[in-house]
Amino acid sequence: MTDALVLGAGMAGVSAALMLQKRGWSVALIDRQAPGRATSFGNAGIIQSEAVEPFAMPRDLRSLWNIILGNTNDVHWRLRHLGPHVAPLLSYWWHSGGSRYRRAVEVHSALVARAAEAHAPLIAAAGAESLVRREGFRVLHRTERGMDQEVAVAERFHADYGVPHRVLSAEALARAEPGLKFTGVGAMHWLNSWTISDPGTLTTAYAQLFAKRGGTIEIGDAETLISDPSSGWMVATVNGLLRAEHVIVALGPWSGQFLTRFGFRIPMVRKRGYHLHYSGQPLDLPLLDADFGYVMAPMTRGLRITTGAELTGPDAKATPWQLERAEIAARHLVTLGAPVENSPWFGTRPCMPDMLPVIGRVAGLKGMWTHFGHGHQGFTLGPATGEILAQLMTDRATAMDVSHLSPNRFHRCDVTTACVRSSNRTRRQDAMAALP
């Protein structure tokens, strides 16, 4: 019998599956589509060893005011979809300061320190070296003030965490990126991050490695999951039922909604981002345009522009306003060329208000574990946190204190209440009915 079912085959799910498999577990990976086709497909592809401090919500009035007035391209919000965001945003604001933020930094930096070394053996074993560059990425600034602020952060990161960087003048940036038409006041080159030319393909390569090592990958809907008296858990796939003693929820931005069935109220800040590829002259390394909040990354399918955070509804139609502004700003920097696709891709960063992923055993639900909520750095952190989850599941000592990552830090209500019961029944029935 299978030892564990992993629900969700993004970077988080595939990584957890590989780490358990490494410990001799028999694992099945279940997704409603092929591995690596959701958020892990469309991101900026940076394994961010420089991102040692989690992405906090600005707390100074000037930044907040700019967000409220829509003066920044980093964040875009839509009034009619803002309602469900309010409580998670207030909690995010609360956790972005004082001792709460210091604790998040302590845990997050310990995770990021493990990220690249956790990817390295997987990249090698998956034969994916050709997708990876280990030369960092750059952040272009258009104002002295912005550059000075980033230099101060870089010097602190170097002193506190050993993160290497190089400050580039406008002339040095022009030499490094001859395709740039405008180099602002220069750039910060973060040196120890890795950049991936196709993040979806890297996730798929990891999934193929998992299959090659004997893992099972099945198409199925996580909503069909039920507890099974004989085995523990059971899920329906297009090829029949799968049973296992353990189940891991790795559904990325869909994890919170999924867990409402089990009485959880997960306050996720869902930050949507868009991407589109362009046919123009490629850059050498990815470039973040700090003043317009987007990344331009040379990728297999062209120059990929990825945007900042849009606060909208999970099923709201695409409103790529930030992408349009990013495109105008990017045309000022490079010969961008024509869009490669007719419409942009979008996906959602699964951000927790306390900025920490949700990893561990679910109290009161025997054999259920979680591995989601990696926010802005899920592509970076998947293998490192997958390793920690596998250590927890196999009762080994974890490499670090993981008490702050537990899923049991969230409020849980009585699953027998009428509304939860009826929503569970409907979602399960719909999921079962959709199977062939």
Ligand X SMILES: Cc1cc2nc3c(=O)[nH]c(=O)nc-3n(C[C@H](O)[C@H](O)[C@H](O)COP(=O)(O)OP(=O)(O)OC[C@H]3O[C@@H](n4cnc5c(N)ncnc54)[C@H](O)[C@@H]3O)c2cc1C
The Cβ of residue 84 has, within 10 Å, a number of other Cβ atoms equal to 14
- Judged by CB, which is closer to ligand X: 69, or 433? 433
Site string for ligand X, 349-368 (x = CB under 6 A): xx------------------
CB contact at 8 A, 31 and 8: yes
- Judged by CB, which is closer to ligand X: 159, or 375? 375
Token digits of residue 274 = 């868009």
Give the residue, chosen from 5, 12, 244, 358, that forms a contact with ligand X under the rule CB under 6 A. 12
Name the helix (H) or strand (E) containing 418.
helix 418-434
Sign of CA dihedral 307, 255, 234, 19: positive
Q: How far is CA 72 from CA 62, 77, 150, 306, 310, in A?
A: 11, 11, 18, 15, 11
Site string for ligand X, 303-322 (x = CB under 6 A): ---x----------------
The nearest distance, CB 96 to ligand X, in angstroms, is 18
- Judged by CB, which is closer to ligand X: 150, or 221? 221
The strand pair at 269-278 and 287-289 is best described as: unpaired
- DSSP-derived secondary structure for 136-158: -EEEEESSHHHHHHHHHHHHHHH
Interface positions, 252-311, toward ligand X (CB under 6 A): 252-254, 273, 275, 306
- C-alpha 30/C-alpha 385 separation (Å) is 19
CB contact at 8 A, 76 and 321: yes
Interface positions, 146-205, toward ligand X (CB under 6 A): none
* 122 touching ligand X, by CB under 6 A: no
- Judged by CB, which is closer to ligand X: 48, or 216? 48
The nearest distance, CB 5 to ligand X, in angstroms, is 11
- Judged by CB, which is closer to ligand X: 54, or 232? 54
The Cβ of residue 430 has, within 10 Å, a number of other Cβ atoms equal to 12
The interface region with ligand X, picked from 27-35, 106-114, 312-320, 325-333 by CB under 6 A, is 27-35
Give the residue, chosen from 20, 25, 45, 344, that forms a contact with ligand X under the rule CB under 6 A. 45
- Judged by CB, which is closer to ligand X: 25, or 41? 41
* 11 touching ligand X, by CB under 6 A: yes
Give the residue, chosen from 21, 39, 183, 312, that forms a contact with ligand X under the rule CB under 6 A. 39
Give the residue, chosen from 5, 17, 28, 43, that forms a contact with ligand X under the rule CB under 6 A. 43
- Judged by CB, which is closer to ligand X: 119, or 141? 119
Beta bridge partners of 368: 247
81-89 long-range contacts (CB < 8 A, ≥24 apart) are 81/311, 81/312, 81/313, 81/316, 82/311, 84/313, 85/269, 85/270, 85/311, 87/267, 88/267, 88/268, 88/269, 88/353, 89/57, 89/269, 89/311, 89/353
- C-alpha 12/C-alpha 223 separation (Å) is 18
The strand pair at 269-278 and 368-372 is best described as: unpaired
- Judged by CB, which is closer to ligand X: 37, or 78? 37
Token digits of residue 282 = 């490629």
- Judged by CB, which is closer to ligand X: 154, or 235? 235
* 378 touching ligand X, by CB under 6 A: yes
Interface positions, 207-246, toward ligand X (CB under 6 A): 221-223
The interface region with ligand X, picked from 8-16, 62-70, 100-108, 150-158 by CB under 6 A, is 8-16
The interface region with ligand X, picked from 26-34, 59-67, 119-127, 360-368 by CB under 6 A, is 26-34
The interface region with ligand X, picked from 7-15, 180-188, 207-215, 418-426 by CB under 6 A, is 7-15
The nearest distance, CB 288 to ligand X, in angstroms, is 10
CB contact at 8 A, 15 and 383: yes
- Judged by CB, which is closer to ligand X: 11, or 28? 11
Give the residue, chosen from 17, 27, 46, 326, that forms a contact with ligand X under the rule CB under 6 A. 46
Nearest to 4 by CA among 12, 171, 24, 267: 24
* 73 touching ligand X, by CB under 6 A: no
Beta bridge partners of 46: 195
- Check residue 412 and report its DSSP letter: B
Nearest to 363 by CA among 272, 264, 294: 264
* 426 touching ligand X, by CB under 6 A: no
The nearest distance, CB 46 to ligand X, in angstroms, is 4
The nearest distance, CB 125 to ligand X, in angstroms, is 19
The nearest distance, CB 253 to ligand X, in angstroms, is 6
CB contact at 8 A, 341 and 106: no
Give residues in contact with ligand X (CB under 6 A). Answer: 8-13, 31-33, 37-40, 43-46, 48, 221-223, 250-254, 273, 275, 306, 347, 349-350, 372, 374-380
